Structure 1
Amino acid sequence: MGENKKIKLWALVMLIFVPTFNFTNIASNAVYLGATAIPSWVIVSVLYFLPLCGVIAEMASFNKDKDGGIYTWVEQAIGEKWAFISTWSYFIGILFYLQMVFSRIPVAASWALLGRNIFTDSNAYLLPILSIFICIAMTYIATIGVSKFSKLADFGGKFTLAATVIFIVMAVVGYFNGTPSATEFSVETVVPKFNVSYFSTFSWLLFAVSGSEVAGTYIKQTENPKKTFPKAMVIATILIALSYILGSVAVQLIASPQVLESAGIKDAGYVVYSIVANNFGINGKIVVQIYAAIFLVTSIAAYIIWMESPIRAMFGEVPKGTFPEFLVKKREDGTLVNALWTQCVILIVLIAIPLFGLKSIDAFFKLLTDLSALTVVIPYIILMCAYMSFRKNNKNIDFKFFKSNALAYTMSGIALVLSCTGFLGAGLDYVMGSSGTEAILLIVKTYGGPLILIGMGLVIRFMSQKSYNKSSRLEDKKRAV
């Protein structure tokens, strides 16, 4: 990639912002948590997201000449085996996440074009069919290269940030101009009730701020990465944290818990934009269509990044023999075209199986989806442990987000504890709501699933390396003869 195509500061900020911030997360968690979502976002931002971004900024800056992202950071700190486990679980978690999110694109397009969701029960069968075509199109865009799709992320991210700021300003101005708050703010409604239901929902807030690590795989494509990457992480962290916290306040001001609940998780984000526009005498439908168009562009950019970055992390820096040569073959700009198209085929199979009514195969893939639900948490647990080792063994690093070791260990330790409790809490509500054999099966699938899938990955790695070593020995013998 030529110097003129290097990713600049604000383009990198948007590469971090786009896959991490999603206004839908604000609206959906407002449905579940009501006004308690506000302090919850504050806690998540300060005690989890801030330390996570600090860890990423330091480790990425130190490994500025490598583009393996989370694989490189963990490998440098605690070894190749843990690096494989972290990236394999990350890759598997994102893979099954992707097969579920492509259907959101047609819904956003429907809101943008018509001002409503036409993919209701009668038309819902169209979503998986459209998802297959969307998957193919996005894979193609991903193969074009980060210098191209980063422009889409830059465009969509800036408009999303602007739309969020305008929403917050309108909600606050409306309130001070006499529009009463739609939500009652009191100690009883704002302070969380620390029960199982809250603990379970709070855990998903932790996952809502994941995504900032994806930019680490593009550090070699960044202009002056030693300075630009840490600076971009700091700016993006502030923007994302403020957007989630202030956005949550704004949503509570203009929509009551009952309105949010009746709108539902899928449509609550669109409904609140309509309400805030109507409060100012503006055509709510037009405002929703504009917001939906912005959300559509940003979602496309976000899903492309989610498709491309984990592939770089998984296949970009692994030792020879870990995977077949076909999958680890890179283009000059670091794009793994073969791996991207292989992923595309797997995603199409996952999306298409239910369409053919093959119940036994469908059940198997549904089981894999259930098993993978919490695998995406594992990399963050390993990353925090790796960071502690990294700070212990690298005293004189160029960039320190946390100036003292005591602060670094404290903040990463808190983030580690929250990652572990998030892993436990995310499935707790489901397990507690069951009993007997059903509860045991849920525990095995929810909490044992990630371990089972990691075990499968280690077996694949062992077999691939064994085959590679055998081939290498044969080649050595031929050369000796």
Structure 2
Amino acid sequence: MSNSKKIGLWTLVMLIFVPTFGFGNITTNAVALGPAAIPSWLLVSVFFFLPLSAVIAELASANNDKNGGLYNWIDSAIGSKWAYIGTWSYFISNLFYLQMVFARIPVMISWAIFGENRFNDSNAYILSYLGIALAIILTWAATTGVKKFSKLSNLGGRFTIAVTVIFIVFAFVGLLVGKPSATEFTTASVMPKFNVDYFSTFSWLLFAVAGAEVAGTYIGEVDKPKKTFPKAVIVATLLVAAAYTIGSVALCIVASPDAIQKAGLKDAGYVVYKLLAENFGLNGKVIVQLYAAILTVTSIGAYIVWMESPIRAMFSEVPEGTFPKTLTKKDENGTLKNALWIQCAILIILVAVPAAGLKSIDTFFKFLTNLSSLSLILPYIILSGAYLVYRLKGNKAPYTMFKSNTAAIAVSILLLVLGIAGFFGAGLGDIVSAETKMDAIKAVGKDYGGPIVLILLGYIISWITKLTSKNSSDSDKSTAA
């Protein structure tokens, strides 16, 4: 491949930035942390996102002759068993993310049509039924082939960046022309309080900076990877940290902590755009309707692609015989229709279960955010452990960001500690606030039960498949003899 067709620095930076950054992550953490989210973004970017991206870059360069991805990166260090668990847990995290997506789309549509969220505590159960319908419809769309939706997905990424830039620019323009900040910035309000409440949402910050693994798969196509990749990792980290930090400051300028808290996880992303428009004398309702309408169309295209891409990565990386042939069967376009419909069946169960005890819409969205966050952290914990073992064995990849083993080991341990803290912290608030031991046990089961059960299920499926394949092979040999 000629250099003209190789991936350059800024293309690689965008491959890291686009799947990592999201304006919704700014509003989510602003609801949870208020102005304290501002320095939190800096801390997480420097101590988690940057070293994680560097680890991914090293393991990707060590496996650049293979199909890039978590399975091969982990397998090269600690073997196929952990590689399978890491990849499967990544797949599981996608299920919980989609569960959250299907709950958010109806809210998005409500803002587009009515200029407000018509879902409340009294009718929140409807979100589950609408989520089930969306799971079926979007799965069917994915089975028809995702290529037709890829342009819409790309448009959605560009739209998100564009409206974020517009929000930030006009927030500061308003401040410059004399509009007072809605938030009073003080040392007390900005400094994080490292208590139970903070650590119960710490995983949300880690979840927000996830996405660097996508770029790692392209290292074989990068122009001068030994120089370009480390530069891209550093530049992308700085961009992500700046976007989240400046975006959080802009959010606090436009909306007070009380206004953000009142909007809650479900509505904060729309309320702040409405407030910004009204600050400049525009019709906030019309502006937010337009924003929500475009976001709905582009997001649906992106979610259709996202429903299929992790499945394709999962079943193309894992060795043949790991899963039943029903799951790995592809059509003429390479689409795994059976796997998509099985994923849909699991999603329907995941979406339906919370409806039974749904009392508060804000609690519902917090629960979904916790599940998505802690599930995605698991594969990163395994990946960090794999890198630690890889460097302890004295291995060095073609591209190394950490020249000394001491630095590499220290970084691995830091990632493991932060990952484990994020995983267990996700449900800590529910456990501590439980009034009885039984409530605490229920909280543990609610927050951690689903991911653990599904990961164990994946391991059992793999074990049964391999056992069946072995018995079938032994039977064939016996017959031949």
Tell me which interval the TM-score lies in, with the shorter structure as reference length: 0.7 to 0.9
- Distance change >3 Å, CA 283–CA 232, structure 1 → 2: farther
Q: Is the 8 A contact 2:71 2:83 kept in 1?
A: yes
Q: Secondary structure at the match of 1:102?
A: helix
TM-score (norm 1): 0.84
Amino acid paired to 1:439: A
- Distance change >3 Å, CA 146–CA 17, structure 1 → 2: farther
- Distance change >3 Å, CA 169–CA 354, structure 1 → 2: closer
Q: State the match for 2:172 in structure 1.
A: 172
- Deviation of residue 75 (structure 1)? 1.0
1:381-420 equivalent positions in 2, closer than 5 A: 381-393=381-393, 395=395, 397-402=397-402, 404-420=404-420
1:155-304 equivalent positions in 2, closer than 5 A: 155-214=155-214, 219=218, 227=225, 236-304=236-304
Following the alignment from structure 2 to structure 1, what is the Cα–Cα distance between the partners of residues 248 and 233? 22
Q: State the match for 1:71 in structure 2.
A: 71
- Distance change >3 Å, CA 186–CA 373, structure 1 → 2: closer
Q: Is the 8 A contact 1:18 1:302 kept in 2?
A: no
Q: Secondary structure at the match of 2:270?
A: helix
- Distance change >3 Å, CA 304–CA 66, structure 1 → 2: farther
Following the alignment from structure 1 to structure 2, what is the Cα–Cα distance between the partners of residues 166 and 320? 48
Q: Is the 8 A contact 2:31 2:261 kept in 1?
A: yes
After superposing the two structures, state which structure 1 stretch, 318-327 or 7-16, moved more: 7-16
Following the alignment from structure 1 to structure 2, what is the Cα–Cα distance between the partners of residues 158 and 470? 51
After superposing the two structures, state which structure 1 stretch, 295-304 or 429-438, moved more: 295-304
Q: State the match for 1:365 in structure 2.
A: none
Following the alignment from structure 1 to structure 2, what is the Cα–Cα distance between the partners of residues 56 and 77? 13
After superposing the two structures, state which structure 1 stretch, 71-80 or 410-419, moved more: 410-419
Q: Is the 8 A contact 1:102 1:135 kept in 2?
A: yes
Following the alignment from structure 1 to structure 2, what is the Cα–Cα distance between the partners of residues 473 and 229? 47
- Distance change >3 Å, CA 91–CA 111, structure 1 → 2: same
Matched, 1:49 2:81: no
Matched, 1:23 2:23: yes
Q: State the match for 2:439 in structure 1.
A: 438
Following the alignment from structure 2 to structure 1, what is the Cα–Cα distance between the partners of residues 64 and 148? 21
- Deviation of residue 145 (structure 1)? 5.3
- Deviation of residue 408 (structure 1)? 3.5
Following the alignment from structure 1 to structure 2, what is the Cα–Cα distance between the partners of residues 113 and 158? 23
Q: Is the 8 A contact 2:7 2:223 kept in 1?
A: no
Matched, 1:317 2:317: yes
Amino acid paired to 1:380: Y
TM-score (norm 2): 0.84
- Deviation of residue 380 (structure 1)? 1.1
Following the alignment from structure 2 to structure 1, what is the Cα–Cα distance between the partners of residues 397 and 71? 19
1:1-150 equivalent positions in 2, closer than 5 A: 16-67=16-67, 69-120=69-120, 124=124, 126-143=126-143, 147-150=147-150
- Deviation of residue 382 (structure 1)? 0.7
- Deviation of residue 19 (structure 1)? 4.4
After superposing the two structures, state which structure 1 stretch, 329-338 or 40-49, moved more: 329-338
Amino acid paired to 1:262: K
Q: Is the 8 A contact 1:67 1:312 kept in 2?
A: no
Cα RMSD of the aligned pairs, angstroms, is 3.6
Amino acid paired to 2:322: T
- Deviation of residue 6 (structure 1)? 11
Q: Is the 8 A contact 1:64 1:225 kept in 2?
A: no
- Distance change >3 Å, CA 33–CA 358, structure 1 → 2: closer
- Deviation of residue 238 (structure 1)? 4.0
Following the alignment from structure 2 to structure 1, what is the Cα–Cα distance between the partners of residues 441 and 154? 46
Q: Is the 8 A contact 1:40 1:202 kept in 2?
A: no
Q: Secondary structure at the match of 2:201?
A: helix
Q: State the match for 1:473 in structure 2.
A: 474
- Deviation of residue 10 (structure 1)? 7.5
Following the alignment from structure 1 to structure 2, what is the Cα–Cα distance between the partners of residues 104 and 433? 26
- Distance change >3 Å, CA 297–CA 391, structure 1 → 2: farther
- Deviation of residue 354 (structure 1)? 7.5
Q: State the match for 2:362 in structure 1.
A: none
Following the alignment from structure 2 to structure 1, what is the Cα–Cα distance between the partners of residues 89 and 107? 29
Q: Is the 8 A contact 1:11 1:154 kept in 2?
A: no
Q: State the match for 1:363 in structure 2.
A: none
- Deviation of residue 229 (structure 1)? 7.6
- Deviation of residue 307 (structure 1)? 2.2
Following the alignment from structure 1 to structure 2, what is the Cα–Cα distance between the partners of residues 408 and 215? 21
- Deviation of residue 468 (structure 1)? 1.0
Following the alignment from structure 1 to structure 2, what is the Cα–Cα distance between the partners of residues 271 and 309? 32
- Distance change >3 Å, CA 72–CA 150, structure 1 → 2: farther
After superposing the two structures, state which structure 1 stretch, 313-322 or 116-125, moved more: 116-125
Amino acid paired to 1:471: S
Offset from partner CA, 1:292-315 (integer Å, 9 cap, x none): 234324533543354233323432
Offset from partner CA, 1:71-119 (integer Å, 9 cap, x none): 2211111100111111222222322332232131222123234322233
Following the alignment from structure 1 to structure 2, what is the Cα–Cα distance between the partners of residues 108 and 240? 25
Following the alignment from structure 2 to structure 1, what is the Cα–Cα distance between the partners of residues 14 and 478? 52
Unaligned runs of 5+ in 2: 359-366
After superposing the two structures, state which structure 1 stretch, 96-105 or 243-252, moved more: 96-105
Q: Is the 8 A contact 1:15 1:154 kept in 2?
A: no
Following the alignment from structure 1 to structure 2, what is the Cα–Cα distance between the partners of residues 195 and 303? 35
- Deviation of residue 174 (structure 1)? 1.5
- Distance change >3 Å, CA 314–CA 42, structure 1 → 2: same
Q: Secondary structure at the match of 1:378?
A: helix
Following the alignment from structure 2 to structure 1, what is the Cα–Cα distance between the partners of residues 377 and 172? 35
- Deviation of residue 124 (structure 1)? 4.5
The number of residue pairs the alignment matches comes to: 466
- Deviation of residue 272 (structure 1)? 0.8
Counting aligned pairs with the same residue, the percent is 57
Q: State the match for 1:463 in structure 2.
A: 464
- Distance change >3 Å, CA 343–CA 65, structure 1 → 2: farther
